[in-house]
Amino acid sequence: MVERGRGDLHAHTTASDGIHTPAEVVRKAHEAGLATVAITDHDTVAGVNEALIQGEQLGIRVLAGIEVSTHADGGEIHVLGYLTDNGNVQWLNRLESLRGVRGDRNGMIVDKLRALGVSIAWSDVEAVAMERQQAGGAKGKSIGRPHIAEALIRKGVVSTMGEAFDRFLAAGAAAYVEMPKIHPAEAVRWIHDAGGVAVIAHPGLYGKDGLIEELIAGGADGIEVYHPDHGQAEEERYYAIARRYGIVATGGSDFHGERLGVSYHGALGSRYAPIGAVSAIMELAKERREA
């Protein structure tokens, strides 16, 4: 399989905490000259079908994906999944259980903010999410901390997303609530059970290279080498790890859209996968389905 053109394999939509609908993300990817874009919303595949339809219309490949929230060694770890069977009932039920935990955590964060004297209600967060989720009504949409951050901006509590996270929402901040999650090794297994390909997202954010190598030895299929929050040294280190273990090196912008003129993580297409990564993911998924 010959692969041509750039592929951004990490993008979010209004199905979770992105600014743009799935169709809009695909249109923006096409306008950016990308050959492939992956839709990787947090703990949901609700935006995938809309994106696939838009991709067919525009002649751009859309890779069905997800970003699964997990926890290990005292911190948050994200695992990207590609080409899962999204008609698999077990897979969908597992994702539903993750979103239930996420919803409980969001409520606890709002409660902590109110205890700190911040005038915010859950309805303020829902208003942001409803506005962003323009498609409306689709089951499985996911509300996250960026929605809470935007509600804080609208209430005049903070001026920027960065300030919201630094003061209240990031790990260790005043209103942070640790979300009980599955272990990343379990997320890898879930993705494999659904016929998909599991890739460790932005490993440079964790500072846990020993754990990363354990997950690779335990079956992870790839590692996200190229990401806006990785420096050159990190990209070189993780590319070397991918080569050493013979796994797929991927990349993506972690696009969420712009809030108040500032792009959350990176602009679409600002980071992308090496040539051959998309083909390798598709071949792995094919082998897994046929096994």
Q: Residue 131 CB: number of other CB atoms within 10 A? A: 12
Radius of gyration of the CA atoms of the chain, in A: 18
What's the rounded Cα separation, in Å, for the pair 241 and 232?
Answer: 14
Provide φ and ψ at 10, rounded to 5°.
-155, 100
Q: Tell me the mean pLDDT in the region 69-98.
A: 93
What's the rounded Cα separation, in Å, for the pair 44 and 138?
Answer: 11
Q: Are 252 and 202 in contact (CB under 8 A)?
A: no
What's the rounded Cα separation, in Å, for the pair 79 and 205?
Answer: 13
The closest alpha carbon to 250, from 86, 31, 28, 11, belongs to: 11
What's the rounded Cα separation, in Å, for the pair 155 and 164?
Answer: 12
Per-residue pLDDT band at 19 (split at 50, 70, 90): confident
Query: Is it the case that residue 260 has pLDDT exceeding 80?
Result: no
Domains of the chain plus CATH, in order, are 7-99+181-290 (3.20.20.140)
CA distances from 283 to 45, 218, 244, 278, 279 (A): 21, 20, 20, 9, 6
Per-residue pLDDT band at 85 (split at 50, 70, 90): very high
